[in-house]
């Protein structure tokens, strides 16, 4: 699905802080990403983009970031363990 400026502009923050309890990251290691940075890296091999909107919001959404995977944010403990610890993971809600 084509990435639109509208959907990218609604990315409030990259919610990487959710990774802290799983991998015990220091807050200084958690980074945010601008819309432009995501646009520049969208085709990067190994980049994992996870849509963490609630299921009803995700289902009804008119647009989604191309290549993003949906994961239920209320079940993060069960799915985060399936991603590589050294992966570049972008979590977003729009």
CB 50 within 8 A of CB 68: yes
Residue, of 50 and 26, whose pLDDT is higher = 50
CB 76 within 8 A of CB 18: yes
- Taking only the tens place, the pLDDT of each residue in 10-42 is 443 444 444 444 445 565 666 788 889 999 999
- What is the token pair recorded at 88? 């570049």
Q: How far apart are CA 82 and CA 57, in angstroms?
A: 24
Domain boundaries, the chain: 5-92
Q: How far apart are CA 11 and CA 92, in angstroms?
A: 6
CA angle 59, 82, 11 (to 5 degrees): 45
**pTM of the predicted protein model:** 0.66
């Amino acid at each position: 699905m084509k990435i639109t400026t509208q959907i990218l502009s609604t990315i409030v923050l990259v919610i990487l802080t959710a990774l802290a309890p799983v991998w015990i990251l220091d807050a200084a290691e958690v980074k945010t990403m601008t819309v432009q940075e995501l646009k520049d890296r969208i085709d990067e091999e190994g980049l994992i983009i996870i849509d963490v909107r609630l299921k009803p919001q995700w289902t009804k959404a008119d647009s989604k970031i191309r290549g993003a995977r949906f994961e239920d944010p209320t079940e993060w403990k069960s799915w985060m363990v399936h991603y590589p610890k050294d992966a570049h993971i972008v979590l977003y809600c729009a």
